[in-house]
Every structure is written in C-alpha cells, then in structure tokens.
Structure 1
Amino acid sequence: MAKTRVMIADDHAVLREGMRRLLEQEKDMEVVGEASDGEEAVRLVDEQKPDVVLMDIVMPKLTGVEATKLIKKANPSTAILILTAYSDIRYILGLLEAGASGYLLKSARADEIVGAIRAVRSGESVLDSMATRKLLERVVNLSKETPEDKSRGQLSPREIEILRLAARGMSNRDIAEKLELSMRTVKAHLSNIFNKMRCSSRTEAIVKGFREGYVTLDDVPQGIESYEKEKI
C-alpha cells in the first residue's frame, strides 16, 4: 500500500525537525516537504501534492487559516491537520470553515498525532476533545438565540451511540471494536447519521447533535482522546 505523503508547515525549525523524525519512524508515512511560512506551504502543496498537511496556525506571510483556504480551493483532496498551541474558539471555527479536517493541540502525544494523521487520511475528522468542549459550550449560547431545525428523521439508538462515541474522538476502527461491529457497518451508520442530520462531516454532526440533544458535554472528555495506531 502506498505511503501517506505528509507535509509539515510550521515556522519553528526545531518542531519541523522533531516532527519529521517522528513521522519517518512510521512505515506507512513519508515526509515530502517542509514549509516555514504560509505562502511556502501553499506553493509546496501545489508542487508535491501531499495527502496530509500538518499545519500551524500562526505563521509569517499567511496564517494557517488563510493557507488552508487556498490549499483546499486548489487541492481539495489534501487533508489539513492543524497542530497548534492555540485553542481559542475563533481559531477553531475559522479553521473548520476553511476546510481543515482536524485540530490538535501541540500538547498531544506523539501517538495521538500519528493516529490523527491516519484518521484524516482515511477521511475522518479529528478534533481535540478540549477544543470540542469549547466548541459545544459556544453552541450552548448560540442555540439560545438561533432555533435549530430538527433532523429529517430521528436517529436510532445505535446511531445515537455511534454519534456519542464520535464526539469522544474515536475513529471508525475504535467504534467498530468497542461495539463489536464491522468497519463497513460503522461507516454505514455514520452515512445514515449525516443524511438524517443533513451534515457533511463528523464535527458538523456532533455540533448539530448537541443542539438537538443527542450529544451532551458529558459525552465529551476534558482531556485529549488518544487515537489508536491503524494502517489505512
């Protein structure tokens, strides 16, 4: 199976070097480029066509949000995984709107970062659980002012269970193992959830599920969930 091609975009050379060393230890990954600013990140993505970009938010010339918008416009199949020290809700919302597939804090463990890269490469969304809590807490205030349309079809008990596990940051494989289901079945349930809730991503489904009462803050841990290492 082809290796996952990863590009690292961060203005700190020490972090880029450390991340390269980490990823080069993984047999299913290869680092195809490094960028020290947002403009360079956009240019290198056009040249190298990586599967995943590991991107910081605060960089010279273009921010991570601006670079993400440009990258997703020109290379929609490239997944953007944000790795940053900032957990401000404004950054989170801006990055999700820009098309980022995931958001992790730099306090995440090495195995969490590697697992998150595999997750976004396979089409899943990854969001640090502390960031998820902040996002949902923000929704609490918004939902008081903005009525939310109910899903076209009520979620089944199994679909609610899977949505709550997704809110914990669990991958499709994690959910399948916990519920003793096949990966195909989990993907089918998620597809049904997206259709019923008129959503296109896990994060959007979690937020809407929170507004409709399917998910509560108690379902989202306050620490960072770990991502099991899995080959894709």
Structure 2
Amino acid sequence: MKQQQKIKVALADDHVLLRNGLASVVDGFGEYVVLFQADNGKHFQQQIRAYGEPDIVLMDINMPEMDGYQTAQWLKEHYPLVMVIALSMYDSENAIIKMFKAGAKGYILKDSEPAELKRSLDSVRQKGFYYSELVTGRLIHTINKLGEANAPKKELNSLNDREIEFLRYACTEMTYKEIADKMFLSPRTIDGYRDALFEKLELKTRVGLVMYAIKNGIVTV
C-alpha cells in the first residue's frame, strides 16, 4: 500500500513513552501511519496546523492545559470530518458519556490489546463508530436502527414529557440521586424511569440512553 493511501492517525497523550509505543503499534498495522503526535490539546492545535488534518485521532482524556474533552469539542467545531477515539485508563460511565457528547466516535481503554486497537481503528474508518465491550451488541444494533429514517420518530413519540426530561438529565454528569433531587422525585421513582426506558428502548446502559438522546436530537452535542 502506497504511503498516500494509508489512513492518517494522530496521537494526543501527555505520556511520551506510552505515546511512542502506541505510534509503533499503529505504524505496524500497515494500512495506518502516524501523521503527528501531541502532548496536549494546545500542542495538538499547533500540530494539526503544521502537519494537516488526520483521518483519526487517538485522544487521551486526561491531559494538562487542554484535556481530551476540550480538544474533541474543538475538533468537532473546526475539523468535523476528523474522527476521535478516546483513550482512558478507566471505564468511567461519566467519562464515556462526556466524550460521546464532545463528539468521540469510539472509546477504548489504554490497557487494551493491540488487536482491539486495530478493531477500533478499522471500525471507526468503516462504520463511523466503535464502542467495544463498553456498549453491548444490543445497543450497537439499536444505534444502527436509530439511523433509519422512520425508527427515531416512532420511538420518540412513545416517550412522555417526564421521560424526555429525565433523558436530558441522564446526559449530564449528575448521579441518579442528583437527578431525583432536580426533578423533585424520589430516587426509587428515578430508578423506575430508568428501567422503563431501558425496556421501552431496548437498552441496557446509561451510555445507551445518551446515544439515543443524541441520535434523536433530545440533546445537542
């Protein structure tokens, strides 16, 4: 495969040894090439102006000066065609939700095997998303259904005002208890809303609720 045909990948991570190791792995995949590396979001902005637009960015969440959330949001506004895969040491539900809202197309853990990294790159390139084991196969199927023209309208019409209000709060970093306080309801009632939506929308996780809300325009990203 010729150099110009390779998929261009940028790396943003403040841990130099990890980043260099990641670069070696990515370059070793053959069809991918590392375009540039950056220490943080501000450095990333400089690098993209110097080296041009990558196809995919492997983005660490926790970086000094300008973190992964801010950098992904900046990319979405200035380079909307660049696809971001978030990198994290933790499978935090709030971190996943926040990165999805910032525009990330995938989320993998830093201790993932090279084979999973390859799957994430391939999936984002071919399908436009990668959710790994953090989101179930059932959710991926539902997300695909939501891309069909008629599915969202039918499902959205089945939700009442309070369920939609709950969905909006679920897309924030509030805990379920904090959502209960905000809606002047008991935690048990909020659990009931959540479980009812899981069943109604055929989802299993809060991340799934967020993806549904984003796809249907209940929240904007």
Above 0.5 in TM-score?
yes
Percent of counterpart pairs with the same letter? 27
The residue type equivalent to 2:202 in the other structure is Y
Q: Report whether the alignment pairs 1:9 with 2:12.
A: yes
Deviations 1:169-211 (A, max 9, x none): 9xxxxxxxxxxxxxxxxx8x6742x641259xxxx9xxxx845
Q: TM-score, normalised by structure 1?
A: 0.61
In 1: Cα distance, 2:48 partner to 2:98 partner: 20
The residue type equivalent to 2:48 in the other structure is V
Conserved? CA contact 1:105–1:128, under 8 Å: no
- Of stretches 35-44 and 97-106 in structure 1, the one that deviates more from structure 2 is 35-44
- Choose the corresponding residue for 1:99, options 99, 103, 112: 103
Conserved? CA contact 1:46–1:75, under 8 Å: no
- Choose the corresponding residue for 1:127, options 125, 131, 137: 131
Aligned residue-pair number: 162
Q: Report whether the alignment pairs 1:18 with 2:7.
A: no
In 2: Cα distance, 1:190 partner to 1:7 partner: 30
Please list, as runs of the form range in 1=range in 2, the aligned pairs for 1:137-148 lying within 5 A after superposition. none
In 1: Cα distance, 2:63 partner to 2:139 partner: 34
Query: 2:65 maps to what in 1?
Result: 61
Query: 1:197 maps to what in 2?
Result: 152
- Choose the corresponding residue for 2:30, options 27, 33, 37: 27
Over aligned residue pairs, what C-alpha RMSD do you find? 3.1
Conserved? CA contact 1:3–1:30, under 8 Å: yes
Unpaired stretches in structure 2, ≥5 consecutive residues: 156-170, 172-196, 209-221
Q: Shift of the alpha carbon at 1:60?
A: 1.0
Unpaired stretches in structure 1, ≥5 consecutive residues: 134-162, 170-186, 221-232
Query: 1:164 maps to what in 2?
Result: 138
Q: TM-score, normalised by structure 2?
A: 0.64
Change (3 A) 1:38 1:211: farther
SS of the equivalent of 1:122 reads helix
In 2: Cα distance, 1:43 partner to 1:210 partner: 43
Structure having the higher Rg: 2
Query: 2:200 maps to what in 1?
Result: 212
Conserved? CA contact 2:60–2:88, under 8 Å: yes
Query: 1:76 maps to what in 2?
Result: 80
- Choose the corresponding residue for 1:111, options 88, 109, 115: 115
In 1: Cα distance, 2:78 partner to 2:128 partner: 20
Q: Report whether the alignment pairs 1:43 with 2:31.
A: no
